[in-house]
């Protein structure tokens, strides 16, 4: 069996760490099985969907390395949705309802006061043709509900194991609104069957939907005369480091924001691939290697904790691991040379931090001088250019001899004077980049 999966974002907003995890897992699963990854744009809601959001989603996915083999938008498939819904109407599986939003709210209130679950009472099924005509004559347009079996639907979820949704406990879903707009459910079921999707991988907020969708998919297979139910894998949702859900903060956790913040795509994919699995999170610049180790067997059911601090730590490790050639273009844009990068890469969290060290190496900084006499003595001992990796050791040795200081008392004031900072890259690597003239000037307390 060829694996065919889909990621199906609605272009009503940006993608963020929460929903991109589903994209990544679909992609990893497809790639691990030599399968197909389809990007489907769920844009039946034409009021809230925008081309701009769609373009952004595509750009974000490509930036992460999640390329697709096929893509289509639901808005190109209305003829198919019309065809299937006509057949479902003919079978009595899609029925017209004329309640207004207020009518439905009133019914739910009544159910609540009686301690009943707020499930739609199917009153519309009892409407006579004459009553329907009367509503139509009043100018009312129907919305259309799918008639569920009201029996338990069971499936073996690849993450959750045996799963049951009793469709007697859910309302018959509205598939088409009174203005004719298709809600996501029916188009999704038709597309999944027509595109021969083998696995639906998504967040567990869709578990109840799955029960309903399995019934609708069966009806679609019947109408189409062919097709097969996909398997399902519903993963747990992410929570924040504080243990709370991420929903309120998702705006700041968008992939676009992370890209603008200068994070590496590999840091994001390394983290999201392993969060919630039995495997440790580790920096993995090669996304195909993540695919090779992907397996639903390793995925747990507990909510996975997303901590931005982990993401930053991974980002630093990824940068450390990547060869200069992989970063050359971006570093060149920052004016950072290979020598400088090699000297400072152990001290950067984000690539752009290298530009700060560039300023330390070549720009003008305010040196921090704690002991003027000591610094002046050191200034006189700076060897002449060109400085090499060995120059630092020789220089420090001379300062030690001359001033009688050693250990931290020796190194710390030199670093403060030469870099203006408490901490940083190995001075042996930085010293030749700073050069003799700037080193002397800084040790004399001059801005250089």
In the complex with ligand GLU, the residue whose CB is nearer, 39 or 344, is: 39
In the complex with ligand GLU, the residue whose CB is nearer, 56 or 202, is: 202
- Least Å distance, CB 88 to ligand GLU, is 19
Q: Provide the 10 A C-beta neighbour count for residue 184.
A: 16
Characterize the bridge pairing of strands 174-176 and 36-41.
unpaired
Q: Look up residue 312 and give its two tokens.
A: 């930053």
With CB under 6 A as the contact rule, the residue among 58, 147, 202, 358 that binds ligand GLU is: 202
Report yes or no: 40 and 191 within 8 Å, Cβ to Cβ: yes
What is residue 156's three-state secondary structure?
A: strand
In the complex with ligand GLU, the residue whose CB is nearer, 206 or 259, is: 206
- Least Å distance, CB 132 to ligand GLU, is 32
CA 371, 376, 377, 378 torsion: positive or negative? Answer: positive
CA 50, 53, 56, 61 torsion: positive or negative? Answer: negative
- Least Å distance, CB 12 to ligand GLU, is 9
Residue count at the site for ligand GLU (CB under 6 A)?
A: 8
- Least Å distance, CB 281 to ligand GLU, is 25
- Least Å distance, CB 42 to ligand GLU, is 4
Does 43 bind ligand GLU (CB under 6 A)? Our answer is no
Q: Look up residue 18 and give its two tokens.
A: 């929460």
Nearest residue relative to ligand GLU (C-beta)? 42
- Least Å distance, CB 258 to ligand GLU, is 19
Helix or strand holding residue 153 (H, E)? strand 152-157
d(CA 395, CA 346): 23
DSSP-derived letter for residue 161 is E
Does 324 bind ligand GLU (CB under 6 A)? Our answer is no
Question: HSE on the CB side for 414, CA within 13 Å?
Answer: 29
- Least Å distance, CB 245 to ligand GLU, is 16
d(CA 413, CA 88): 81
- Least Å distance, CB 160 to ligand GLU, is 15
- Least Å distance, CB 309 to ligand GLU, is 28
Residues 171-190, interacting with ligand GLU (CB under 6 A): 184, 188
In the complex with ligand GLU, the residue whose CB is nearer, 5 or 382, is: 5
Q: What binding mask, one character per residue, do residues 13-42 give for ligand GLU by CB under 6 A, x or -?
A: -----------------------------x
In the complex with ligand GLU, the residue whose CB is nearer, 21 or 358, is: 21
Does 198 bind ligand GLU (CB under 6 A)? Our answer is no
In the complex with ligand GLU, the residue whose CB is nearer, 9 or 173, is: 9
Does 10 bind ligand GLU (CB under 6 A)? Our answer is yes
- Least Å distance, CB 201 to ligand GLU, is 8
Helices assigned H by DSSP within 275-425: 287-292, 308-321, 324-333, 338-344, 353-362, 372-381, 391-403, 408-419
d(CA 327, CA 322): 7
Does 53 bind ligand GLU (CB under 6 A)? Our answer is no
In the complex with ligand GLU, the residue whose CB is nearer, 114 or 248, is: 248
Quick one: which segment of 8-16, 169-177, 418-426, 433-441 binds ligand GLU (CB under 6 A)? 8-16
Report yes or no: 37 and 5 within 8 Å, Cβ to Cβ: yes
- Based on the number of CB atoms within 10 Å of its own CB, is 288 exposed (0-12), middle (13-18) or buried (19 or more)? exposed
Residues 204-223, interacting with ligand GLU (CB under 6 A): 206
CA Rg value for the chain: 31
Quick one: which segment of 3-11, 114-122, 298-306, 437-445 binds ligand GLU (CB under 6 A)? 3-11
Report yes or no: 369 and 378 within 8 Å, Cβ to Cβ: no
- In 3D space, the residue among 156, 186, 154, 162 whose CA is nearest the CA of residue 172 turns out to be 186
Report yes or no: 199 and 231 within 8 Å, Cβ to Cβ: yes
In the complex with ligand GLU, the residue whose CB is nearer, 147 or 202, is: 202
- Least Å distance, CB 257 to ligand GLU, is 19
CB-based contacts of 182, cutoff 8 Å, min separation 6 = 44, 74, 78, 81, 175, 176
Residues 351-410, interacting with ligand GLU (CB under 6 A): none
Site for ligand GLU, rule CB under 6 A: 8-10, 42, 184, 188, 202, 206
């Amino acid at each position: 069996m060829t694996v065919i999966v889909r990621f199906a974002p609605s272009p009503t907003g940006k993608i963020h760490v929460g929903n991109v995890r589903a994209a990544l897992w679909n992609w990893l699963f497809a790639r691990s099985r030599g399968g197909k990854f389809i990007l489907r744009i769920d844009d039946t809601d034409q009021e809230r969907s925008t081309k701009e959001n769609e373009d952004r989603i595509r750009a974000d996915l490509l930036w992460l390395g999640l390329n697709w083999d096929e893509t289509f938008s639901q808005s190109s498939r209305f003829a198919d949705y019309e065809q299937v819904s006509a057949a479902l109407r003919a079978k009595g599986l899609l029925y017209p309802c004329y309640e207004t939003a207020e009518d439905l709210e009133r019914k739910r209130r009544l159910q609540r006061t009686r301690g009943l679950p707020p499930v739609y009472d199917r009153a519309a099924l009892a409407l006579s043709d004459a009553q329907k005509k009367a509503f139509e004559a009043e100018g009312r347009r129907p919305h259309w509900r799918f008639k569920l079996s009201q029996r338990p639907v069971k499936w073996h979820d690849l993450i959750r194991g045996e799963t049951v949704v009793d469709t007697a406990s859910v309302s018959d879903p509205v598939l088409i609104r009174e203005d004719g707009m298709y809600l996501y459910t029916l188009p999704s079921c038709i597309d999944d069957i027509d595109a021969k999707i083998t696995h639906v991988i998504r967040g567990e907020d869709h578990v109840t939907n799955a029960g309903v969708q399995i019934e609708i998919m069966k009806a679609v297979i019947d109408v189409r005369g062919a097709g097969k139910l996909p398997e399902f894998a519903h993963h747990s949702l992410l929570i924040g480091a504080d243990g709370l859900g991420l929903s309120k903060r998702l705006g700041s956790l968008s992939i676009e924001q992370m890209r603008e913040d200068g994070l590496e795509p590999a840091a994001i994919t390394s983290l999201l691939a392993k969060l919630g699995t039995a495997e440790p999170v580790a920096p993995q610049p090669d996304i195909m290697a993540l695919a090779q180790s992907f397996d639903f067997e390793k995925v747990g059911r507990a909510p996975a904790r997303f901590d931005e601090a982990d993401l930053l730590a991974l980002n630093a490790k990824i940068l450390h691991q990547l060869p200069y050639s992989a970063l050359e273009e971006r570093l060149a844009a920052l004016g950072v040379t290979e020598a400088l990068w090699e000297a400072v890469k152990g001290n950067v969290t984000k690539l752009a931090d290298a530009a700060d060290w560039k300023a330390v190496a070549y720009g003008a900084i305010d040196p921090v001088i704690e002991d003027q006499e000591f610094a002046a003595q050191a200034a006189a001992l700076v060897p002449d250019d060109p400085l090499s990796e060995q120059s630092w050791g020789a220089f420090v040795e001379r300062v030690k001899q001359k001033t009688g200081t050693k250990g931290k008392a020796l190194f710390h004031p030199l670093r403060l004077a030469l870099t203006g900072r408490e901490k940083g890259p190995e001075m042996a690597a930085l010293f030749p980049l700073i050069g003799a003239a700037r080193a002397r000037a800084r040790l004399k307390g001059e801005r250089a």
